[in-house]
């Protein structure tokens, strides 16, 4: 059974009303920061900041380094305030709450606030043999090996033959490539696969994913992308290759590795995000 965001209608209304009592800020771009990537927020001039636990019905993450803040503001470099942002500092994962509807709550909030473009990021395990820990990967396609039903909107058809041709906005992808080239960042490209978690994949699972064309694997992002596309939000996705997946590397994996790699590349990642946002105002 495919989950419908219709079930959240009243909850979303209450969350939006709570936000609007504090601020009338009108963001144009939403940015979801994955594990280890929260330092980008140091480049923001915040107008309003909400802790997710304050907002009615908003899901609260229990994962280390997912602060759960919603930051409304501008880039410090955006001195003319041409590109208002909503930055989600952290996210909720399916394995924490076993509800896809809760996972995509930030996307529904973004849509209700009038946001038209989404930059979504994550930390992922590298499967492609050409990848190294610390690389950034532009997501060109997604797979749902977890086989978890994804959320729909009221206007969605749920016929078995329904097919989306492209989840990502071509112009935004081109901007990412251009920005990476301008600031001399090696940008990998590939397919991102979503598994439920919370445990890391076994070497056998990684080999299976490799055979079906997955370049990087993680525990998030696919439900958000799916719903954003369904709602008409133009989307681009970027993965931090925080580690090499089990069997690709002999090193035992841990969440500390994810955050350590994020800290090491935070400068490059933040510069790329900054350049991308500034380019989208043109």
Q: Which residues are annotated as catalytic?
A: 35, 66, 93, 95-96, 123, 219-220, 243, 255
Output 44-49 pairs: Cβ under 8 A, ≥24 positions apart: 44/71, 44/73, 44/74, 44/75, 44/76, 44/85, 44/87, 45/73, 45/74, 45/75, 45/76, 46/71, 46/72, 46/73, 47/23, 47/72, 47/73, 47/74, 48/22, 48/23, 48/72, 48/73
- CB count in 10 Å sphere of residue 171: 11
Are the C-beta atoms of 5 and 211 separated by less than 8 Å?
no
Are the C-beta atoms of 140 and 225 separated by less than 8 Å?
no
Strands (E) located in 127-167: 136-143
List C-alpha distances in Å: 127 to 109, 207, 217, 220, 263: 33, 8, 7, 16, 21
- Whether residue 198 has a cis bond before it, omega within 30° of 0: yes
**What token pair was written down for 23?**
């601020």
List C-alpha distances in Å: 136 to 106, 257, 272: 23, 16, 10
| Per-residue 3-state assignment (H helix, E strand, C coil) for 166-180 | CCCCHHHHHHHHHHH
Rounded CA gap, 19 and 113, in Å? 10
What distance separates the 2 farthest-apart alpha carbons in the chain?
A: 52
């Amino acid at each position: 059974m495919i989950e419908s965001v219709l079930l959240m209608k009243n909850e979303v209304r209450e969350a939006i009303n709570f936000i609007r009592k504090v601020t009338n800020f009108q963001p144009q771009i939403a940015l979801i920061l994955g594990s280890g990537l929260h330092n980008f927020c140091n480049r923001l001039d915040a107008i309003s900041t909400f802790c997710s636990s304050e907002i009615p019905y908003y899901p609260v993450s229990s994962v280390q380094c997912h602060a759960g803040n919603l930051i409304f503001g501008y880039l410090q470099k955006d001195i003319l305030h041409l590109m208002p942002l909503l930055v989600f500092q952290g996210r909720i994962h399916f394995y924490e709450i076993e509800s896809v509807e809760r996972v995509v709550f930030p996307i529904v909030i973004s849509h209700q606030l009038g946001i038209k473009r989404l930059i979504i990021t994550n930390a992922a395990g590298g499967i492609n043999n050409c990848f190294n820990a610390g690389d950034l990967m532009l997501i060109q396609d997604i797979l749902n090996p977890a086989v978890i039903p994804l959320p729909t909107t009221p206007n969605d058809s749920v016929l078995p033959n329904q097919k989306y041709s492209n989840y990502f906005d071509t112009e935004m992808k081109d901007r990412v490539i251009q920005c990476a080239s301008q600031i001399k960042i090696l940008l990998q490209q590939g397919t991102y696969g979503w598994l439920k978690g919370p445990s890391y994949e076994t070497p056998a699972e990684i080999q299976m994913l490799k055979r079906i064309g997955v370049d990087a694997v993680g525990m998030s992002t696919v439900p958000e992308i799916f719903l954003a596309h369904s709602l008409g939000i133009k989307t681009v996705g970027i993965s931090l290759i925080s580690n090499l997946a089990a069997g690709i590397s002999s090193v035992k994996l841990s969440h500390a590795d994810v955050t350590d790699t994020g800290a090491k590349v935070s400068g490059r990642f933040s510069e790329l995000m900054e350049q991308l946002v500034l380019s989208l105002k043109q």
